[in-house]
Structure 1
Amino acid sequence: MVLTAGLSVVGLTACGRIDPKDKPSGSRPPAQIMLSAAITDRGVDISPARVGGGPVRIVISNQTKRNLRTTLVGASGEDRRGTNAIAPGQVAAIQATLREGSTYRLRTAGANPVRPAVLRVGNQRKSSDDELLLP
């Protein structure tokens, strides 16, 4: 009886555990995180301004009185993601995968661009293997 109960406990603790080496496609990427950005007449503010590498979604609020386009640009200039014009009081979003150790700028375009926000990327975030209910 005790032996059967002990084997059941050992069997249950092993359920659901998969060694990343045994997965055909390896580990999953980090879970996407949300960042907030606000465009004001003084400039663009982003929060948080320092994140780990991996997928992000930046929700941008235009708090000025003019239509503005925004662009997320990597330090090398090759990483670019942009929005259409954001009307005053409206929001838009940019999705990107940030590279570890990079610096990005979220800037506006137009006749009177405002000060860009700087986004610094640290180490790659951990895999989302252990997170439930992800797409």
Structure 2
Amino acid sequence: MMTRKGGQDCFSRHPEHQRAPLIYVEFLATAPWNRPKLVADPTYKGAGRVLIGTAVSLSLEEEFGGRIGLHSLRGAEVFYRDAIGMTDFGTDSEGVHKGLRYFELSSRDAATFLSVQH
């Protein structure tokens, strides 16, 4: 996982806290042997959730309230929306992320995500 703070992608689009700073997840991947869609018995189940939790923790450490944002590849959209509980802001129509869906975890949803993980 690679994250970033600062820059144009590092401000919230969420109506609960528009323009508030957030941690932007630039890149997140798990090894193929950890993906339930690719193998019957993943070596490390939950690796993606752990990485998202790490991004949320970084956001809390930076005093951003747990807010994170990212653009998703098509195959991961269901994971971010349904498994993590991120808000889907739809497909970006221009720029570097053209054609990718933008997801964001609000401060409230970050607290819920962390409470479910423990």
Do they superpose with TM above 0.5? no
**Higher helix proportion (structure 1 or 2):** 2
- Structure (1 or 2) with the larger CA radius of gyration: 1
Q: Which has the higher contact order (CA 8 A, sep 6+)?
A: 1
**Higher strand proportion (structure 1 or 2):** 1
